[in-house]
Chain A
Amino acid sequence: MTDLCELTRLADSGRLPPPAAVAARVRARGIWLYVETWLLASRTWVVSLLIVAVLEPIVYLLALGWGLGSLVDRQVGVADGVPYLVFVGPALIVATGVMAAHQESTYPVMAGFKWRRLFLAAQATPLMPRQIALGHLASVMCRYLAQATLFWLVLLAFGATRSAWSWLVVPITGLTAWAFGACVTAYAAGLEDEGYEFALLQRFVVMPMFLFAGTFFPLSELPAYLHWVGWISPIWHGTELARVASYGAPMTGAALALHLSVLLGYAAVGTIVTTRRFTRRLTR
């Protein structure tokens, strides 16, 4: 049984800085504190995620790169002057990154507010809503980067890169996933209930963006009236950049700047709206 002396120490050990100092520290470092705890909590599922993150690329590259690729290379010839495996590899890294972003930005966000209420728990501490929002975005970014790095290593093992700069595919994927994920997070943070919204988003937004985004064939192969799907899809912009990095696909400086700007634009808008919606929802 706890005696009074122990209880006194429990209530005030004298080992803590004053509340104002505690709060000042959280105000300065809150986002990183959040990321740190997210990484700690991820221990429960990180192993299964890493296994998937290695196996998935292998399956994709075997089926599409080698399987479909051998047919494409024989029948139609190479795209961009490289084998199909080299062509499709970097695009798959970007696409799987965006799939992960969709996953992390829908149900976990709804759960944070509604089901598991972990955002509400964090909000009772000196953390501010803005830090919880940015902390969440930065945390899932860690996952995108880890996953993209593993995929890139598999790509290397398949000998499917052609440039010393191919590692840039990893940050490009991170940026693309953030751009897409932040927008979806903003949307999810504004939803009170989840009926069918996330499933519709998956089928009618994510899938077309994935299939019509130049992942498996250049966007120019599609009829012109479908090109807009690629233009609005972060996946297409990310994919184009990833191909430049991975095998030196030809691209003008202006196009490069444009792709980068679109992704940064999506990322900025998504991040700002996410922050606002988190703040509104946590303080109403």
Chain B
Amino acid sequence: MPSDPIIRAQGLTKTYGEVHAVAGISFDIAAGESFGLLGPNGAGKSTTMRMIGGTLGRSGGHLAVAGLDPEVEGSTVRAHLGVVPQQDNLDEELSVRDNLYIYGRYFGLPRSYLRAKIPELLDFAQLSEKSSAKVDRLSGGMKRRLTIARALINEPRILLLDEPTTGLDPQARHTLWDKLFRLKEVGVTLVVTTHFMDEAEQLCDRLIVIDQGRIKAEGTPRGLIAEHSTREVVEVRFGADRNAQVEPRLRDLAERVEVLPDRLLLYTEDGEAVLEQIAAAGLHPVTSLVRRSSLEDVFLRLTGRSLVD
């Protein structure tokens, strides 16, 4: 890493009674990096994010954000941060512009600064024309972009994004990813939690895979796929009752076979060749497709479960 990490967690733990929401995780995030926390719902991602923002105390371990302990210097840490929460908490009764202004005043930012800053943020979020519209008139994607614009009001060095595109349609997601890319280009550190593997692949330079409060793997999206999966995956469906039945006959055709309730996954370097072998063996799947390995496969391999239940 080029310099001291902007966020460093060592043995970070959060316990609720007997439940270990976060069970001793360690990671470093470099300034300007786009870092992902990938895991299913309830893995401890949001809990980790809140500890970074100092709005949740930790039960153990060390944590430093911009060199500060968020639990001791929460308000200063949050002055460094932009936070995009999982659930929008815009004031729906107010206009788009007023939402940005009020949030800026929570930071005590001067009115003259805000007057100049708000049009720039609206331009970035492609909401200039909606400036006077009430927030409850906006679409889901627009609200999300406004929440991101709001998080940028204090020119944060670090942007925390908790499930940034959950609930958005594909086009709105791509628009949002594009915005986040641009921020990364100008040096903003992105910390993203997600349970979408495509989002993690698109957005993150590096990520940790979390399950049940523990880190299962760490690396670049490509690196993780190379390490924990094969180049290609063949997905075949024989019908719900036949999938498990056929599995023994396919076992030798691929490096690894996973049986899911609705389909079989065959991990291999050459998918087309495997498909031909399946046909040659006289098996005729109802549907079949060959695709590249994804982080979903990595997660399945590491935990035996899929990301989205």
Q: Whole-angstrom distance from the CB of B254 to the nearest CB of chain A?
A: 46
Please tell me if the beta carbons of A125 and B103 are within 8 angstroms of each other in the complex.
yes
Q: Give complex CA distance A4, B124 in Å.
A: 11
Please tell me if the beta carbons of A124 and B78 are within 8 angstroms of each other in the complex.
yes
Whether A121 contacts B89 in the complex (CB less than 8 A), given A4-B185, A7-B182, A8-B186, comes out as yes
Q: Across the two chains, which residue of chain B brings its CB closest to A25?
A: B108
Q: Which residues of A contact B188 (CB under 8 A)?
A: 11
Please tell me if the beta carbons of A9 and B183 are within 8 angstroms of each other in the complex.
no
Q: Which of B132-187 contact A (CB under 8 A)?
A: 151-152, 154-155, 182-183, 185-187
Please tell me if A36 contacts chain B, counting CB pairs below 8 Å: yes
Please tell me if the beta carbons of A125 and B121 are within 8 angstroms of each other in the complex.
no
Interface 1/0 per residue, A116-139 and B, CB below 8 Å: 111011111111100000000000
The number of residues on chain A lying at the interface, defined by a beta carbon within 8 Å of a beta carbon of chain B, is: 44
Please tell me if A284 contacts chain B, counting CB pairs below 8 Å: yes
Please tell me if the beta carbons of B117 and A13 are within 8 angstroms of each other in the complex.
yes
Whether A124 contacts B155 in the complex (CB less than 8 A), given A4-B186, A26-B106, A40-B102, comes out as no
With a 10 A CB-CB cut-off, give which of B79, B103, B123, B124 has the most chain A CB atoms: B79
Residue in contact with B57 in the complex, picked from A13, A44, A283, CB distance below 8 Å = A283
Please tell me if A16 contacts chain B, counting CB pairs below 8 Å: yes
Q: Which of B101-124 contact A (CB under 8 A)?
A: 101-103, 105-109, 113, 116-117, 120-121, 123-124
Please tell me if the beta carbons of B152 and A10 are within 8 angstroms of each other in the complex.
yes
Please tell me if A272 contacts chain B, counting CB pairs below 8 Å: no
Whether A11 contacts B76 in the complex (CB less than 8 A), given A25-B108, A26-B107, comes out as no
Q: Give complex CA distance A9, B90 in Å.
A: 25
Please tell me if the beta carbons of B79 and A128 are within 8 angstroms of each other in the complex.
no
Q: Which residues of B contact A30 (CB under 8 A)?
A: 108
Q: Which residues of A contact B152 (CB under 8 A)?
A: 10-11
Q: Which of A22-74 contact B (CB under 8 A)?
A: 22-27, 29-30, 33-34, 36-37, 40-41, 44
Q: Give complex CA distance A27, B75 in Å.
A: 8
Whether A41 contacts B117 in the complex (CB less than 8 A), given A19-B79, A127-B75, A282-B55, comes out as no
Q: Which residues of A contact B154 (CB under 8 A)?
A: 16, 19, 22, 125
Q: Give complex CA distance A9, B187 in Å.
A: 11
Please tell me if B93 contacts chain A, counting CB pairs below 8 Å: yes
Please tell me if A193 contacts chain B, counting CB pairs below 8 Å: no
Q: Whole-angstrom distance from the CB of B197 to the nearest CB of chain A?
A: 27
Q: Which residues of A contact B116 (CB under 8 A)?
A: 15
Interface 1/0 per residue, B54-83 and A, CB below 8 Å: 011100000000100000011110111101
Q: Give complex CA distance A120, B90 in Å.
A: 10
Residue in contact with B113 in the complex, picked from A10, A15, A20, A282, CB distance below 8 Å = A15
Please tell me if A197 contacts chain B, counting CB pairs below 8 Å: no
Q: Which residues of B contact A117 (CB under 8 A)?
A: 87, 89
Interface 1/0 per residue, A178-217 and B, CB below 8 Å: 0000000000000000000000000000000000000000
Q: Whole-angstrom distance from the CB of A110 to the nearest CB of chain B?
A: 14
Please tell me if A80 contacts chain B, counting CB pairs below 8 Å: no
Please tell me if A2 contacts chain B, counting CB pairs below 8 Å: yes
Q: Give complex CA distance A126, B85 in Å.
A: 15
Please tell me if the beta carbons of A36 and B105 are within 8 angstroms of each other in the complex.
yes
Whether A126 contacts B76 in the complex (CB less than 8 A), given A4-B185, A284-B56, comes out as yes
Please tell me if the beta carbons of A40 and B101 are within 8 angstroms of each other in the complex.
yes
Q: Give complex CA distance A25, B78 in Å.
A: 13
Please tell me if the beta carbons of B117 and A125 are within 8 angstroms of each other in the complex.
no
Please tell me if the beta carbons of B155 and A123 are within 8 angstroms of each other in the complex.
no
Please tell me if the beta carbons of B123 and A118 are within 8 angstroms of each other in the complex.
no
Q: Give complex CA distance A8, B32 in Å.
A: 13
Whether A2 contacts B106 in the complex (CB less than 8 A), given A16-B113, A19-B79, A120-B89, comes out as no
Please tell me if the beta carbons of A283 and B55 are within 8 angstroms of each other in the complex.
yes
Please tell me if B44 contacts chain A, counting CB pairs below 8 Å: no
Q: Whole-angstrom distance from the CB of B58 to the nearest CB of chain A?
A: 11
Q: Give complex CA distance A57, B113 in Å.
A: 43
Q: Which of A66-97 contact B (CB under 8 A)?
A: none
Q: Which residues of A contact B4 (CB under 8 A)?
A: none
Could you write out 24 A-B pairs with CB less than 8 Å apart? A4-B185, A4-B186, A6-B123, A10-B152, A11-B155, A11-B183, A12-B155, A13-B155, A15-B113, A16-B113, A22-B154, A23-B73, A25-B108, A26-B106, A34-B106, A36-B105, A37-B105, A37-B106, A41-B94, A121-B91, A124-B55, A124-B83, A125-B103, A126-B78
Starting from the known contacts A26-B75, A41-B102, 16 additional A-B residue pairs (CB-CB under 8 Å) come to: A6-B120, A7-B183, A7-B186, A9-B120, A10-B120, A11-B186, A11-B188, A15-B113, A16-B154, A33-B106, A33-B108, A40-B98, A117-B89, A125-B107, A126-B78, A282-B55
A-side interface residues toward B, CB under 8 Å? 2, 4, 6-13, 15-16, 19-20, 22-27, 29-30, 33-34, 36-37, 40-41, 44, 116-118, 120-128, 282-284
The 4 closest A-B pairs by CB, nearest first: A19-B79, A117-B89, A124-B83, A126-B75
